[in-house]
Chain A
Amino acid sequence: MSSLRSLSRPWIQLVGKEWRGLVVSRAWWVLIFLVGPLVGVTFIGAVRTYAEASGLGGTSAGVGEAFSPLDGIWVPTFVAYEIAATFLLPFVAIRLVAGDRQSGALKLELQHPMSPLSRIAAKALVLFGGWCLASVPALIAGILWKMYGGSTYPPELTSVVLGYLLNAGLTIALAAAVASIAENPSTAAILMLSFTVGTWILGFIASMHGGLWEQIAKFTPEAMLDRFQHGLIQLGTALVALVFIVTSLAVAAVWIRLGASTRRRALESAGLVAVAAILVVACTFVHLSWDVSENRRNSFSEADQKALELIKSPLRIEAHLAPEDPRRSDLEHGAFSKLRRVLPSVKVRYVSATSIGLFEQANTGYGEVWYDLGGKRTMNRLTTGEAVLETIYGLAGVTPPQETKPPFAGHPLVAAPRGAAVILYGLWPALVAGFGFLVSRRKA
């Protein structure tokens, strides 16, 4: 116990030092200064659009999803944090990690027999704390929304927040890794931006070519975030994000050991990446997920789910649709992704000769979707969720269930974003600037 205390005391000292390092960092002050107006733009725009749509659409069942606060308020509002995590947070992290190396402080600190992972963990913890402080404007937006009389469904809001926290963790860990590997912060910044652009390119290639690219692109931060934004918490996705975070922090820890040879550090990093790759592949077999959206957008109705659960035969689907064909996206999001959550044995295969499918339309087989359930085969070309279910029920000889619950009606709200501009455009930046000025006066 006492040895644990003696070990943790220097670590607490280090956390305190890192916190001071963050507080004097201009990059962090710029981040928290800008995040207020950024949230202001996204939140005010979202509330206005929501009000316009509510006023025009009423509460008819057909447009219910349009009045979900998840789509209408939370996802647009949190886009501010996607921007901040992509373009601001990496520089804060790089500055905190690379600053010690540049100033020579790392040479002093490394002489303490603390493990490198503990050092990096102290930095990551402080950066995460700094990010949480930068999340205060989102909290303000949430309070304002409640004050306007807006509806909040905590599980789906939790999903969005969890997604953004994991995204921030990933950004911090990656930035820590590149800042440790690169000799100077500018190189680290270029590497980090290259990574971001690389994920965009990967997403673009995946949408063009599908196949393996599509599988790899599922692990980009944008793709992972997208699932959380839809109110879908996938354990596999969360575990993959955690594997990426821990691996990146471990790589950062390997590279801050200035006393180890470059060859040794490179070999250790390669080993870590190899282990991470195995773990990521293992995580893809974890299919546990929770649809926490209020309107069950990631699931079929409860009645359909119960009916599908009765089907035990393996289901194989072959869809002759190109990656960029919008019907493929409809099928995937409206039916197949929901099917995978109920029927773990379902296998979907896409077949196409081109990426856009424009010149395949003349081919007789293009657009066909073949279903094989326990040896029985059938085909149709419809791409709606209802049509897919009907086809499967037909093959399984199951009577389509009657839906008893009314469809999600949504939460329309005609409200003006009162006070949001004053707080997020005026008060928040003024407060941050004031505190920043006080800190700079103290350090001078």
Chain B
Amino acid sequence: MREISDQFDHPLRPTIVSVAGLSKKYGTVIALDDVAFSIHRGEILGLIGPNGAGKTTLFECLAGVQPADRGAVAFGDGYETARRGDVLFYLPDGIAPWPHQPVEWALQFFLNFFDGRHDLYDDVVDRLDVAPLKRKRIGALSQGQRKRALLAMGLLTPQPVLLIDEPFEGLDLRQSRETAKTLRWHASLGRTLFLSIHQIIDAGSFCDRFVLLSGGRACGEGTADELASLARSRLGVTAPADFEDVFLALT
């Protein structure tokens, strides 16, 4: 079994983003504590952790929409000298941007403003079932509808790495499955996805690799098998029954 590594190279896929020593405090509360991990090109990486683990803070610090106290984010695989905004796009959870504007306008604005993927427009709209929402105002959408519209905007952005905070939040079972399929399709086109998910079972069945976050600390990084192996070796846990047990053992 391969050891969890924070090295830049990966035996299968090149590392596109490498994070080291990322720390963030809100007053006396430690939100992120020396977090280190890497993102490999083309993978679906899951950021797993309970509510309050620091997932959103980690994403926002990575995307540069809030400042980190310490730490470094480096880019690889041809993006060594690129700016953060050229490599990463972060789609926050729980926002209702431009609430008075229709979805159609927002999608076009995203495409034009971010010089997005016009070629994916029809597929994205179709797969996420956004067509019926196009004329509706964003502020008038239900939580699930808004999530689908936001996902569509995110999938149309051109950056090679897409960070999505809670992509399945607010979606019903059917929509979650359709969204998961769409994200898989999107990753198959070469996009790297980094998703924060607090539902461990959903994440276990969906992501290629995982970063486990608890209390602001990264408790493990790797595939499900690698994490299970780590749980066994580090904590002496005997054959965890499922991914939830692995998570509980490591956090």
A positions within 8 Å CB-CB of B? 9-10, 13-14, 17, 20-21, 24, 100, 103-105, 107-113, 258-261, 264, 443-444
B109 and A13 contacting across the interface, CB-CB below 8 Å: yes
CA gap between A264 and B68 in the complex, in Å: 12
Q: How far is the CB of A389 from chain B (nearest CB, A)?
A: 62
Interface stretch (choices B41-49, B58-66, B192-200, B215-223): B58-66
Which residues of B lie under 8 Å from residue A112 when comparing CB positions? 85, 113-114
A-B contacts, 23 of them at CB < 8 A, read A10-B113, A10-B114, A10-B115, A13-B112, A13-B113, A20-B98, A20-B100, A21-B100, A24-B101, A104-B92, A104-B94, A104-B97, A105-B95, A107-B60, A107-B90, A108-B97, A111-B88, A112-B85, A113-B86, A258-B65, A258-B66, A259-B66, A443-B101
Residue of A9, A24, A107 touching B112 (CB-CB under 8 A): A9
Q: How far is the CB of A192 from chain B (nearest CB, A)?
A: 23
Residue B190 CB within 8 A of the other chain: no
Which residues of A lie under 8 Å from residue B99 when comparing CB positions? 103
The 7 closest A-B pairs by CB, nearest first: A104-B95, A105-B97, A24-B100, A259-B64, A261-B67, A13-B113, A113-B85
Residue B232 CB within 8 A of the other chain: no
Q: Which residue of A lies closest to B105 (CB)?
A: A20
A103 and B109 contacting across the interface, CB-CB below 8 Å: no
Which residues of A lie under 8 Å from residue B90 when comparing CB positions? 107, 111
Q: How far is the CB of A372 from chain B (nearest CB, A)?
A: 60
- Contact of A104 with B96 at beta-carbon distance under 8 Å, contacts A20-B105, A112-B85, A113-B83 already known: yes
Q: Which residue of B lies closest to A261 (CB)?
A: B67
Which one of A105, A110, A113, A261 has the greatest number of beta carbons of chain B within 10 Å?
A105
Question: Interface size for chain B: under 10, 10 to 19, 20 to 34, or 35 or more residues?
Answer: 20 to 34
Q: How far is the CB of B2 from chain A (nearest CB, A)?
A: 33
CA gap between A220 and B83 in the complex, in Å: 42
Residue B89 CB within 8 A of the other chain: yes
CA gap between A261 and B83 in the complex, in Å: 19
Which one of B94, B98, B99, B101 has the greatest number of beta carbons of chain A within 10 Å?
B98
Which residues of B lie under 8 Å from residue A24 when comparing CB positions? 100-101
Residue B134 CB within 8 A of the other chain: no
Residue B137 CB within 8 A of the other chain: yes
- Contact of A111 with B65 at beta-carbon distance under 8 Å, contacts A9-B112, A10-B113, A14-B113 already known: yes
Q: Which residue of A lies closest to B140 (CB)?
A: A444
Q: How far is the CB of B203 from chain A (nearest CB, A)?
A: 23
CA gap between A292 and B69 in the complex, in Å: 57
B105 and A443 contacting across the interface, CB-CB below 8 Å: no
CA gap between A107 and B115 in the complex, in Å: 17
A103 and B64 contacting across the interface, CB-CB below 8 Å: no
CA gap between A267 and B51 in the complex, in Å: 34
Q: Which residue of B lies closest to A442 (CB)?
A: B102
Which residues of A lie under 8 Å from residue B114 when comparing CB positions? 10, 111-112
A17 and B95 contacting across the interface, CB-CB below 8 Å: no
Which residues of A lie under 8 Å from residue B92 when comparing CB positions? 104, 107-108
A259 and B65 contacting across the interface, CB-CB below 8 Å: yes
CA gap between A273 and B136 in the complex, in Å: 44
- Contact of A111 with B63 at beta-carbon distance under 8 Å, contacts A13-B109, A104-B96 already known: yes
Q: How far is the CB of A312 from chain B (nearest CB, A)?
A: 60
CA gap between A92 and B66 in the complex, in Å: 27
Q: How far is the CB of A46 from chain B (nearest CB, A)?
A: 38
Which one of B66, B85, B109 has the greatest number of beta carbons of chain A within 10 Å?
B109
Q: Which residue of A lies closest to B139 (CB)?
A: A103
